């Protein structure tokens, strides 16, 4: 697949020693990077680096600038993101870098999983990069949705729930690699189509072909001429689907609702649908 | 709020109430030894992806789900396999999977 935002292993291998290309592994669990990682890659933690330590929100512009400056990332660097979980968190970080206006950010197709399954080299040496003075832009809110946007979109715009069918229907409250939680209700936002993120990925974590991705959304009856809001449980799987729509298929009016089901499913007084059907407005 | 990250080998059972969920766990092996690199993927009754964890160095994996029919796909470099299982609420189902290369 040829796309400016997506690179493959061969491209990565030819740029591992390029000082202006920064490989960044993004995980929630730091165990993976600490064990080994792609040569010269640095790490970002999805939660401790990119989430505000107190409020449920992102780090602000100044905090993001301080983070990337300390990590040695410059504004004119090409940032290549990869990670575990089929690139969920790397796709989230891609969307996050776009949100703060980084000009050249890319995703390694298949992430850590494909790299490992293909038997490619991983190293334990941690590189050191000189600190920089990174300058971020204000958040591009055209690619981020909030709960008010979602409520307005019910029955009028596209809502795409990218969780598994059992989470969409309310039969599971979390992905099955996590203990099932009991305090929150299950279900989905009424009128949301269920197009699981996994339908866009091959078994090795790489993206399906452009033709297959187009067929996926067209086959689900999503009119991409309308604005589209993607969501999941906390916004990382939907960042993967946002990447498919915005970066691979070139659909520009797509945003990610990072509050996702953990926010919506806890709101008082909002409509909720359960079962396998989208439900009505 | 907890994240959605998959812990290597699966989340520990410590402090988890397993009376209200079905646990599927096991070891993936290859060539009579635990596989040290690979993934365990859980599919639902319609073959839809539900979850995936990187296996531990000892080949271990664990899922938390509800009662029903599931399929575990073992992915290791150069080979994979599918194992259908039936899970029950309040029970821990141990599944050992040998992948033939």
Chain B hits for A196, Cβ within 8 Å: 48-49
Q: How confident is the model at residue B73 (pLDDT cuts 50, 70, 90)?
A: very high
Determine contact, residues A120/A41, Cβ cutoff 8 Å.
no
Is residue B97 within 8 angstroms of chain A, CB to CB?
A: no
Q: Where are the domains of chain A?
A: 6-139, 142-264
Chain B from 19 to 78: CB within 8 A of any A CB: 20-21, 37-39, 41-42, 44, 46, 48-54, 62-66, 73, 75-77
> Is B5 inside any structural domain?
no
Region B2-24: mean pLDDT is 81
Element (H, E) at A46: none
Q: How confident is the model at residue B12 (pLDDT cuts 50, 70, 90)?
A: confident
Q: How far is A176 from chain B (nearest CA, A)?
A: 5
- Alpha helices (H) in chain A, listed in sequence order: 9-13, 31-35, 61-71, 88-99, 111-117, 147-153, 165-169, 210-219, 237-242, 260-264
> Is B9 inside any structural domain?
no
Q: Nearest residue on chain B to A30, judged by CA atoms?
A: B7
Q: Which of A254, A242, A229, A240 is nearest to A201 (CA)?
A: A240
The lowest-confidence range among A151-155, B11-15, B19-23 is B11-15
> What's residue A183's pLDDT?
57
* Paired strand residues for A161: A194, A231
Neighbour count for residue A195 (Cβ, 10 Å):
24
CB contact under 8 A, A176 and B73: no
> Is B23 inside any structural domain?
yes
The sign of the dihedral angle between the CA atoms of A101, A106, A110, A116 is: negative
Determine contact, residues B87/B24, Cβ cutoff 8 Å.
yes
Give A55: exposed, middle or buried? Use CB within 10 Å, 0-12, 13-18, 19+: exposed
Question: What CATH number should be reported for the domain holding residue B86?
Answer: 2.60.40.10
- Active-site positions of A read 232
> Is B48 inside any structural domain?
yes
Is residue B11 within 8 angstroms of chain A, CB to CB?
A: yes
Determine contact, residues A213/A243, Cβ cutoff 8 Å.
no
Q: Which CATH number fits domain A6-139: 3.40.1280.10, 3.40.50.80, 3.40.250.10, 3.30.70.20?
A: 3.40.250.10
> What's residue A194's pLDDT?
97
CB contact under 8 A, A203 and B46: no
CB contact under 8 A, B7 and A175: no
> Is B13 inside any structural domain?
no
> What's residue A182's pLDDT?
58
> Is B50 inside any structural domain?
yes
Q: How far is B25 from chain A (nearest CA, A)?
A: 10
Interface test with B, best of A177, A197, A216, A239 (most B CBs within 10 A): A177
Determine contact, residues B65/B41, Cβ cutoff 8 Å.
no
CB contact under 8 A, B50 and A166: yes
The yes or no reply on domain A142-264 and CATH 3.50.50.60 is no
The sign of the dihedral angle between the CA atoms of A44, A245, A3, A240 is: positive
> Is B7 inside any structural domain?
no
CB contact under 8 A, A236 and B4: yes
> Is B3 inside any structural domain?
no
Question: Could you list the pLDDT tens digit for every one of the 281 residues in chain A?
Answer: 547 899 999 999 999 999 999 999 998 777 789 999 999 999 999 889 999 999 999 999 999 999 999 999 999 999 999 998 899 999 999 999 999 999 999 999 999 999 999 999 999 999 999 999 999 999 999 999 999 999 999 999 999 999 999 999 999 988 888 887 655 799 999 999 999 999 999 999 999 999 999 999 989 989 989 999 999 999 999 999 999 999 999 999 999 999 999 999 999 999 999 999 999 98
Overall size of chain B counted in residues: 101
Write out the residue range of the structural domain in which residue B62 sits: 18-99
Structural domain count, chain B: 1
């Amino acid at each position: 697949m040829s796309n400016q935002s997506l690179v493959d292993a061969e491209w990565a291998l030819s740029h591992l020693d390029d000082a202006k290309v920064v490989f960044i592994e993004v995980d929630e669990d730091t165990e993976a990077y600490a064990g080994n990682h792609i040569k010269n890659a640095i790490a970002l933690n999805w939660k401790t680096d990119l989430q505000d330590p107190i409020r449920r929100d992102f780090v602000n512009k100044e905090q993001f600038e301080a983070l990337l400056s300390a990590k040695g990332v410059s504004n004119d660097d090409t940032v290549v993101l990869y990670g575990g979980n089929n690139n969920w968190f790397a796709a989230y970080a891609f969307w996050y870098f776009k949100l703060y206006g980084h000009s050249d950010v890319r995703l390694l197709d298949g992430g850590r999983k494909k790299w490992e399954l293909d038997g490619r080299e991983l190293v334990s040496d941690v590189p050191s990069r000189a600190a920089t003075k990174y300058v971020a832009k204000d958040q591009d809110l055209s690619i981020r949705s909030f709960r008010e946007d979602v409520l307005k979109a019910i029955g009028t715009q596209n809502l795409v729930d990218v969780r598994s069918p059992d989470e969409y229907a309310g039969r599971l409250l979390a992905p099955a690699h996590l203990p099932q939680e009991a305090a929150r209700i299950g279900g989905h936002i009424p009128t949301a189509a269920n197009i699981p993120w996994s339908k866009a990925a091959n078994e090795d974590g790489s993206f399906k072909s452009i033709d297959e991705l187009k067929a996926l959304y067209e086959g689900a009856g999503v009119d991409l001429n309308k604005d589209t809001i993607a969501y999941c449980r906390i916004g990382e799987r939907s960042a993967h689907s946002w990447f498919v729509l915005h970066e691979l298929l070139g659909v520009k009016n797509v945003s990610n609702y990072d509050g996702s089901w953990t926010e919506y499913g806890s709101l008082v007084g909002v409509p909720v649908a359960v079962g396998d059907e989208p439900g009505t407005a | 709020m907890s994240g959605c990250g998959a812990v290597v080998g699966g989340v520990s059972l410590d402090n988890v109430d397993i009376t209200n969920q079905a646990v599927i766990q096991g070891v993936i092996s290859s060539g009579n030894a635990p596989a040290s690199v690979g993934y365990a993927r859980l599919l639902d009754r319609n073959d839809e992806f539900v979850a995936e964890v990187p296996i531990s160095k000892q080949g271990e994996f664990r899922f938390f789900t509800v009662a029903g029919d599931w399929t575990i796909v073992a992915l290791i470099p150069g080979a994979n396999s599918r194992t259908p299982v039936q899970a029950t609420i309040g029970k821990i189902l141990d599944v050992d999977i040998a992948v033939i290369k």
